[in-house]
Amino acid sequence: MQNFENKVALITGASRGIGKAIAENLASQGAKVIGTATSDKGAAAISEYLGSNGEGLALDVTDAESLQQTIKDIEKKYGSIDILVNNAGITRDNLMMRMKDDEWDAVLNTNLSAVFKVCKAVVRGMMKRRNGRIINISSVVGTTGNPGQVNYCAAKAGLVGFSKAMAKEVAARGITVNCVAPGFIDTDMTKSLNDEQKQAIFDNIPAARLGEPREIAAAVAFLASEGAAYITGETIHVNGGMAMV
Determine which one of 49, 78, 152, 230 is catalytic.
Answer: 152
| Segment lying near other proteins (by CB under 8 A), choices 27-35, 131-139, 165-173, 213-221 | 165-173
Which of residues 40 and 73 has its CB atom nearest to other proteins in the complex?
73
CB of 102 to other proteins, least distance (A): 31
Residue 114's region, left for phi above 0, alpha for psi from -120 to 50, else beta, is alpha
Binding mask 222-241 for other proteins (x = CB under 8 A): --------------------
CB of 171 to other proteins, least distance (A): 10
Question: Do residues 242 and 201 make contact, with C-beta atoms less than 8 angstroms apart?
Answer: yes
Residue 48: burial class (beta carbons within 10 Å; 0-12, 13-18, 19+) = exposed
CB of 128 to other proteins, least distance (A): 8
CA–CA distance, 71 with 168 (Å, rounded to integer): 24
Q: Is 170 in the site for other proteins (CB under 8 A)?
A: yes
Among residues 169, 206, 227, 241, the one that binds other proteins under rule CB under 8 A:
169
152 tagged catalytic? yes
Per DSSP, helices labelled H in the chain are 17-28, 40-50, 64-78, 101-108, 114-129, 140-144, 150-170, 188-191, 195-202, 213-224
Site for other proteins in 104-133 (CB under 8 A): 124, 127
CB of 8 to other proteins, least distance (A): 20
| Segment lying near other proteins (by CB under 8 A), choices 14-22, 23-31, 164-172, 180-188 | 164-172
Closest CA to 216 of 195, 194, 242, 236: 236
Using CA atoms, how far residue 98 sits from 32, 102, 150, 151, 153, in Å, is 44, 12, 11, 12, 16
Size of the site for other proteins (CB under 8 A): 6
CA–CA distance, 208 with 222 (Å, rounded to integer): 25
Which of residues 172 and 244 has its CB atom nearest to other proteins in the complex?
172
CB of 159 to other proteins, least distance (A): 22
- How many residues belong to the chain? 245
Site for other proteins in 172-201 (CB under 8 A): 172-173
The catalytic site residues sit at: 152
Interface positions with other proteins (CB under 8 A): 124, 127, 169-170, 172-173
